[in-house]
Structure 1
Amino acid sequence: MSVLDLFANYRIVPIVVLHKPENAGKLADALVEGGLPAAEIAFRTQGAEQIVRTLADRGDMLVGAGTVLNADQVDLAVDAGAQYVASPGLSIPVLERCGELGIPAVPGAATATDVLNALDLGFNIVKLFPAAAIGGVSGVKLLAEPFPTMQFIPAGGVGAAHIKDYLGLRSVLSVGGSWMVPGQALGRGDFKEVRDRTAHAVRLANSVPKRAK
């Protein structure tokens, strides 16, 4: 099963900003116990590389690197074991470096121009960011109309209340968000809350029938 197949299978991906790398193992345990063995580690903390390595070394999770802004970060992420790289925007250097290393890349998009540029570069999956700012579910519907071959991963302002509506769209491959791994819970080391939020998200996702693409 490819990484992109795993996206479609899991349907939700926790986007994690963890400031305490020593808690990476507990984070992984909470996500797996909650029924979602996946995490996208945002590369905007000093310990991001270490966290990716800890999760990847387990061998039982889909581990991605998110908020990747340049080719150097791609190298760090891949060396740590990231299985895919995601960006908040469309960066040619990031995409080129991912291609050189043979690592799946998910470029970011917020406009029709972004989506068109991604298609021109050969990508048919984009992270739609920030999803809330472009109109949420309604915005995705409108943006998807002229691009029937594009699959979207909405992120940014996505929460539990939106999962079912997003996943009900044929154009949505999966959704990403941090509501399962809130900063306050991570900061105080409350991984029971992470596990419970994750389990709730999985139940919501599973309540939406998978649709043929």
Structure 2
Amino acid sequence: MTVSPKAASLRAREICSLAPIVPVLVVDDVATARPLAKALIAGGLPALEVTLRTPAALEVVRVMSGVPGGHVGAGTLITPEDVRAAKEAGATFGVSPGATDEILAACEAEGLTLLPGAATASEAMRLLARGYDMLKFFPAEASGGVSALKAIGGPLPQVSFCPTGGVSAANAGSYLSQKNVVCAGGSWVAPKDLIAVGDWAGIETLARDAAQLEVCK
């Protein structure tokens, strides 16, 4: 079942609008997948991005996809093979650090909603011309941060972003205060030290705090 860029972007916007923060997760141990997802969802963060950076990542997507109330996506999609594997594992959306014609075509062909990455006005314009108006701004801090997003928003007010990369509890509010930001991606809500000791209550508390962040309307 194919998906058009406009339909994919609409669905990506819906997912990004579920909560102010999308947890960006690097998970090494499949055994932690279910309790981690349950803690984040219980804390009010239902959209989860599992990065395909570990051997366990696809199985983590599969397990997390079975947790009620969650919307599990696969991040770090680089190749069409990544797209197909993510879809087969149960991902309901994908996230890419950038955007190539091959990645866009693969997601459209597989019917996988994509949040494609862009770091410049030219990249955003190219994606907009194809039909994508909900994008990932990456790497956010290294690409100019809030001031860059504000500048891009001037000539391209129809494009919205999920800034990711260097977003933290300390600066997330500044990003979310921008008119062209729907949500932000961050890893601080699932720190490795808390995952390692199984402190799911602590992670739920971090998620609950993040879920209370205000987004510019």
Same fold (TM over 0.5): yes
In the other structure, the counterpart of 1:175 is 184
Deviates more, 1:7-16 or 1:178-187: 178-187
1:16-35 aligned at under 5 Å gives the runs 16-35=25-44
Select the structure with the greater relative contact order (CA < 8 A; seq sep ≥ 6): 2
Alignment of 1:1-213 (within 5 A): 2-203=11-212, 205=213, 208=214, 211=217
Segment of structure 1 superposing worse, 117-126 or 179-188: 179-188
Which whole-Å CA distance do the structure 1 matches of 2:17 and 2:190 have between them?
Answer: 20
What letter is aligned with 2:151?
Answer: L
Determine if contact 1:90/1:109 at 8 Å carries over to the other structure. yes
Q: TM-score, normalised by structure 2?
A: 0.90
Which range is displaced more, 51-60 or 147-156?
51-60
- 1:125-173: CA deviations, max 9, x gaps? 1100010112221121012211111001100000112222222211001
Give the TM-score, by structure 1 length. 0.92
Structure 2's unaligned 5+ residue stretches are 1-9
Tell me by how many angstroms 1:193 deviates. 2.4
Gaps of 5+ in 1: none
In the TM superposition, structure 1's runs of 4+ consecutive aligned residues that sit over 6 Å from their partners are none
3-state DSSP class of the match of 2:132?
coil
C-alpha distance 150-38 of structure 1, shift in aligned 2 (>3 A): same
* Secondary structure of the corresponding residue to residue 18 of structure 2: helix
**Bigger CA drift: 124-133 or 180-189?**
180-189
**CA distance in 2 between partners of 1:84 and 1:180 (Å):** 20
92 and 188 in structure 1: CA distance in 2 versus 1, 3 angstrom threshold: farther
Cα distance in 1 for partners of 2:18, 2:40 equals 16
Q: The residue matched to 1:133 in structure 2 has which SS?
A: coil
Are the aligned partners of 1:19 and 1:187 in contact in 2 as well (CA < 8 Å)?
A: no
Amino acid at match of 2:165: G
Give the letter aligned to residue 156 of structure 1.
G
Distance 1:139 1:210, change over 3 A: closer
Q: Is the 8 A contact 1:16 1:42 kept in 2?
A: yes
